[in-house]
């Protein structure tokens, strides 16, 4: 499950679930067939390797005439390469870049925004992000589904984005004076990220501003504080989870323990603009909250079911309120959906993003990798929320103008009201 942080609010994720036991089984199955027949050119060899991911391989010593990599497609790829070599107006075309384009194009042909081919550099960046450290500006970026534009969905405290005056709700129109129209979220995020100390220029559309807002942000190393806590009035503990990375479980456990030590009467979990992340992480956190039973279950294309369960030994014994919005995706929806299904808490905000599918990353053993969607997931009561989202129990839209101008969070204020009612029962 990804945004898909940025620096990637597709929730990397995000956006995307990392290797589970089921994923590892699929990976072993994938790797076991990786030996393919020797092909004449390195160019064709790698195209075959990528093709193999989707077709379970080709037989050694020949091509699968019923698959993508058959004699006709190999012939056409060679023809295109020759045309480029002899007719393209620049003579410094990088062959490795051409090859990467083939691999990326094959995966993009699936029409699935969550299935991605990663170059070696992109894979290293992905690994850094999932560990909670990367180079960027310290802002979360998501795709507004209604307007189909990238938007700033959150700002990390003390980050370059915060220092530069970026605001939640800012629509990104250009990066370094180049239009991002038609680009995917991953492509926009890749343009914003960069080496420490370098600058990125953002052109923003901001509510209340007649003209576009032009901002220069100096990139830096970002160590993501994925969990923050606050002790509110009336014994309410506030715990915000920005994404589900490898470091998040320990941060959540520590944050919850600190709040419980303060004698809180209720727990508010803020999942707004959380793009998702690691499936194992969200299940480990859910086990500190839920009763005995399923947290979530997945079903692959062959109908195989994988249960992720909770033994109920650490079920929370105080009222819970969960804040959600249209950018709460993937792993966020797993936690919110389970809390709602078990009836142990109230959801406040607006309907979530609706990402009910799971991705796994397959290592190609050459420094590159492919992330593929491998299954659907279902809430404990059997709901698949992909393309649908999760409805809140109490609906309240965020007043963007008040949030930006007056720093007033009306959704959080409403969640406090709901919590007080639960505590007083």
Does the residue 2 lie in any domain?
no
For residue 420, what is the domain's CATH number? Answer: 3.90.226.10
Structural domains of the chain, count: 3
**Judgement on whether residues 340 and 216 belong to the same structural domain of the protein:** no
Do 244 and 100 lie in one domain? The reply is no
Q: What is the pLDDT of residue 128?
A: 74
Question: How does residue 132 score in pLDDT terms, banded at 50, 70 and 90?
Answer: low
Identify the sign of the CA torsion 123, 124, 125, 128: positive
Examine the pLDDT at 78 and tell me if it is beyond 60: yes
Q: Is residue 44 part of a domain?
A: yes
- Mean pLDDT for 106-111 is 95
Averaged pLDDT, 276-282: 94
Contact 390, 352 (CB under 8 A): yes
pLDDT digits (tens, 9 = 90+) for 34-73: 333 333 333 333 333 333 333 333 333 345 667 888 999 9
What's residue 296's pLDDT? 98
Question: Do residues 307 and 405 share a domain?
Answer: yes
* 66 token code pair: 């019923």
User: Considering the chain, what is the average pLDDT of its residues?
Assistant: 85
DSSP code at position 210: S
Question: DSSP letters along 305-353, please?
Answer: EEEEEE--TT---S-EEEEE-TT--THHHHHHHHHHHHTSEEEEES---
- Position with higher pLDDT, 399 vs 207: 399
Position 198 in a domain:
yes
Alpha-carbon distance of 386 to 81, in angstroms, equals 40
Q: Please check whether residue 123 lies inside any domain of the structure.
A: no
CATH number at residue 185: 2.30.42.10
Q: Which of 223, 250, 285 is the last residue of a domain?
A: 223
76, part of any domain: yes
Q: Does residue 83 lie within any of the structural domains?
A: yes
Answer yes or no: do 170 and 238 share one domain. no
> For residue 23, what are the CA distances in angstroms to 201, 276, 298, 299, 387?
39, 17, 11, 12, 23
Averaged pLDDT for residues 292-298: 98
Label residue 190 by pLDDT band (50, 70, 90).
confident
What's residue 51's pLDDT? 36
Q: Are 414 and 273 within one domain?
A: yes
- Which pair of structure tokens corresponds to residue 301? 């294309």
Q: What percent of the chain has pLDDT over 70?
A: 84
What distance, in Å, lies between the first and last C-alpha atoms of the chain? 36
Cα–Cα distance, 104 to 295 (Å, whole number): 34
Distance CA(87)–CA(100), nearest Å, equals 21
- Please write down the HEC assignment for all residues of 375-423: EEEECCCCCCCCCCCCCCCEECCCCHHHHHHCCCCHHHHHHHHHHHHHH
404 vs 349, higher pLDDT: 349
C-beta of residue 305 within 8 angstroms of C-beta of residue 20: no
Check: CB of residue 234 under 8 Å from CB of residue 420: yes
Mean pLDDT of 213-224: 89
Domain end residue (candidates: 66, 89, 118): 118
The catalytic residue among 17, 330, 332, 375 is 330
Q: Tell me: pLDDT of 32 over 80.
A: no
For residue 149, give its domain range: 133-223
| Res. 114 pLDDT band, cuts 50 70 90 | very high
Using the predicted structure, report yes or no on whether residue 367 has a pLDDT greater than 90.
Answer: yes
pLDDT over 80 at 280, yes or no: yes
Task: Evaluate if residue 164 carries a pLDDT over 70.
Answer: yes
Residue 207: Cβ within 10 Å count: 13
189 in the same domain as 47 = no
- Pair 215, 235 in one domain: no
**Quick one: CA dihedral 274, 280, 283, 285, positive or negative?**
negative
Residues 180 and 268 in one domain: no
Structure confidence at residue 30 (pLDDT): 34
Q: Which of 161, 188, 223 is the last residue of a domain?
A: 223
Whether 414 is catalytic:
no
Least confident span in 190-194, 331-335, 346-350, 370-374: 190-194
- Are residues 290 and 218 both part of a single domain? no
Q: Are residues 104 and 174 in the same domain?
A: no
Of the candidates 355, 371, 412, 414, the residue annotated as catalytic is 355
Domain match, 235 and 216 both: no
| Same domain? 148 vs 193 | yes
Listed ranges 55-59, 210-214, 413-417; the one with the highest mean pLDDT: 413-417
Q: Using CA atoms, how far apart are residues 69 and 330, in angstroms rounded to an integer? A: 33
Query: pLDDT value at position 91?
Result: 86
Report if residue 172 sits inside a domain: yes
- On whether residue 342 sits in a domain, the answer given is yes
- 175 to 38, 116, 199, 231: CA distances (angstroms): 43, 22, 11, 38
Please indicate whether residue 95 is annotated as part of the active site.
no
Whether 125 shows a pLDDT value over 90: the answer reads no
> What length does the chain have?
425
Is 159 an active-site residue?
Answer: no
Which among 242, 341, 375, 414 is annotated as catalytic? 341
């Amino acid at each position: 499950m990804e945004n898909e942080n940025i620096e990637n609010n597709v929730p990397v994720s995000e956006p995307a679930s990392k290797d589970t036991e089921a994923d590892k089984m699929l990976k072993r199955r994938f790797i076991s067939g990786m030996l393919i027949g020797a092909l004449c050119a390195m160019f064709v060899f790698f195209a075959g390797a990528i093709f193999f991911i989707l077709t379970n391989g080709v037989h050694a010593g020949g091509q699968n005439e019923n698959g993508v990599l058959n004699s006709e497609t190999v012939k056409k790829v060679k023809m295109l390469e020759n045309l480029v070599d002899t007719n393209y107006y620049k003579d410094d075309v990088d062959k490795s870049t051409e090859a990467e384009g083939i691999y990326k194009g094959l995966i993009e042909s699936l029409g699935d925004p969550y299935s991605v081919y990663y170059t070696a550099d992109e894979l290293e960046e992905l690994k850094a992000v999932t560990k909670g450290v990367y180079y960027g500006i310290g802002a979360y970026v998501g795709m507004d589904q209604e307007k189909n534009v990238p938007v700033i969905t959150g700002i990390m405290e003390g980050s370059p984005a915060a220092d530069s005056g970026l605001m939640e709700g800012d629509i990104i129109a250009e990066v370094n004076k180049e239009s991002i129209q038609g680009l995917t979220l991953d492509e926009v995020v890749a343009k914003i990220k960069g080496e420490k100390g370098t600058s990125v220029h953002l052109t923003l559309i901001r509510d209340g501003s007649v003209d576009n807002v032009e901002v220069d942000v100096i990139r830096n190393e970002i160590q993501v504080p994925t969990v923050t806590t606050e002790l509110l009035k009336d014994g309410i503990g506030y715990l915000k989870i920005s994404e589900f990375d490898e470091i998040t479980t320990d941060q959540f456990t520590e944050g919850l323990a600190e709040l419980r030590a303060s004698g809180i009467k209720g727990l508010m979990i803020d999942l707004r603009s959380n793009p998702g992340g690691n499936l194992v992480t969200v299940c480990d956190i859910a086990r500190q909250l839920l009763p005995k039973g399923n947290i979530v279950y997945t079903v692959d294309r062959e109908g195989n079911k994988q249960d992720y369960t909770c033994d109920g030994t650490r079920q929370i014994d105080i009222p819970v309120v969960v804040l959600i919005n249209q950018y709460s995706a993937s792993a966020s929806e797993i936690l919110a959906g389970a809390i709602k299904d078990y009836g142990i808490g109230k959801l406040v905000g607006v309907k979530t993003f609706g990402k009910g599918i799971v991705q796994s990353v397959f290592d190609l053993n050459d420094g590159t990798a492919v992330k593929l969607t491998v299954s659907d997931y279902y809430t404990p009561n059997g709901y698949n929320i992909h393309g649908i989202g999760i409805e809140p129990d109490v609906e309240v839209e965020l007043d963007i103008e008040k949030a930006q101008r007056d720093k007033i969070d009306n959704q959080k204020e409403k969640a406090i009201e709901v919590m007080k009612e639960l505590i007083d029962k």
